[in-house]
Amino acid sequence: MRGITSLIGYNPFIRFNPLIRFNPFVSAAVFQLELSRKKMLLRILANAVEQDLPLVPLLIGFAEDHDGQWNEKVLELAYLLKNNKPLPDALEQVGGLVPVGAIPLIHAGAASGHPGATFRMLADTMTEHSKGKQNVQSFSFIGYFISFVLMIFLVTSFMMVYIIPKFKRIVEDFGVDLPAISVSLIKNSDLIANFLPLIILFFIIILIFMSSIIRYASVHITYLRKVPLIGRFTQKLWIPDILRSLSLTAQQNESLLMTIKTLARHIPNKHIRNKLTNAEISIQNGNSVWNSLTDAKIIRRQEKDIFEAAERAGNLAWALKSISSRRDSNSNTRLTNFLAFIEPFFTIVAGGIVAYIAIGMFMPLVQMIHGMS
């Protein structure tokens, strides 16, 4: 996989060739490699911060072991740190070195005084997610979807552009009265033949779109968190990370309000950011943390009761971490169920296309056979 990224990074023909650069299967390989690099970098940062090691030499050495854009980004991070840029701000400015959802948590960890534990928690979470069954299922589904679309496109294009025109000339020579479905088939064949370049362009755009989702996705669909138009529907994806950040703060016996305040400043999703801001104001007005988060619809009432009981028992950090894992598990189950639900839809679509072409071609053939007999 490193060879793939090297070719893309340094060969201009390959780098700007959309059939290779935006090939979804190449993107999947690059995606997996980038995940391993991000986990490695997070563990390096965790060890360096916890053991008070100089970060700049470590990052330069880490960059020398890699190539392409990753090497450039790590060196840029080292340069910013050398110029006294705070680590969270430097990571945010460089971009792409850690998952999208990690930046707000890193800011919160730095503000609460436990950056090393935050880096380690993020690395452990990425490892846990990458081993999950849903990760394999998601990539299997993407591969299935791309293969399905490619095969349907090739077979349909061949039938419409090459076979149907010949069939049209045959039935015209025999003077057969075509049924409505055959007339429709021939009209669609002419339409596809006339606009074939545009159809091919549209197909390439679809591949680029799928490739982009794979390339810029994170381990837990964090790419979707950045899409403005669907931010309202993906805001719940941030809640497990919020709970994990609060768990680290509780473990260090630091102020939960400080963590909430920091997350409210740095989470890019404006909907969840507004909710955190409302919770922050409520806490400052004298309400409890859990009532404020419940009123802001960040946690459920059942979870509020669990957190209050755990706080009294002295195991709040464990409760927050457990609920965040359960939230992740629920999201993964919903994703798995969704993929299982829509997968048969593609089979139905393929069957419909085959039936449409077969009926449109065989009905005139039956009429010709009857006419000759």
97 by Cβ neighbours in 10 Å (0-12 / 13-18 / 19+) ranks as: buried
What is the mean predicted confidence (pLDDT) over 320-345? 81
d(CA 308, CA 288): 10
Kindly report the pTM of this predicted structure.
Answer: 0.70
Q: Which residue has the higher pLDDT, 25 or 67?
A: 67
CA-to-CA dists, residue 128 to 238, 239, 332, angstroms: 17, 17, 12
- Average pLDDT for the chain: 79
How many percent of the chain have pLDDT more than 90? 23
Q: Which residue has the higher pLDDT, 135 or 284?
A: 284
The CA-based angle 74-49-64, given to 5 degrees, is 25
Per-residue pLDDT tens digits for 191-236:
888 888 888 888 778 766 665 555 544 444 444 445 555 556 667 7
Per-residue pLDDT tens digits for 53-72:
888 999 998 888 877 788 88
CA-to-CA dists, residue 22 to 8, 126, 215, 302, angstroms: 10, 25, 9, 45
Task: Quote the pLDDT of residue 28.
Answer: 55
Per-residue pLDDT tens digits for 224-241:
445 555 556 667 778 888
Q: Which residue has the higher pLDDT, 341 or 247?
A: 247
CA-to-CA dists, residue 11 to 3, 32, 212, angstroms: 12, 21, 20
d(CA 292, CA 243): 14
Residue 25: pLDDT band with limits 50, 70, 90: low
Task: Quote the pLDDT of residue 366.
Answer: 80
Q: Residue 336: which residues within 8 A CB-CB, separation 6 or more?
A: 133, 134, 137
Structure tokens at 115: 């950056």
310 neighbors 319 (Cβ within 8 angstroms):
yes
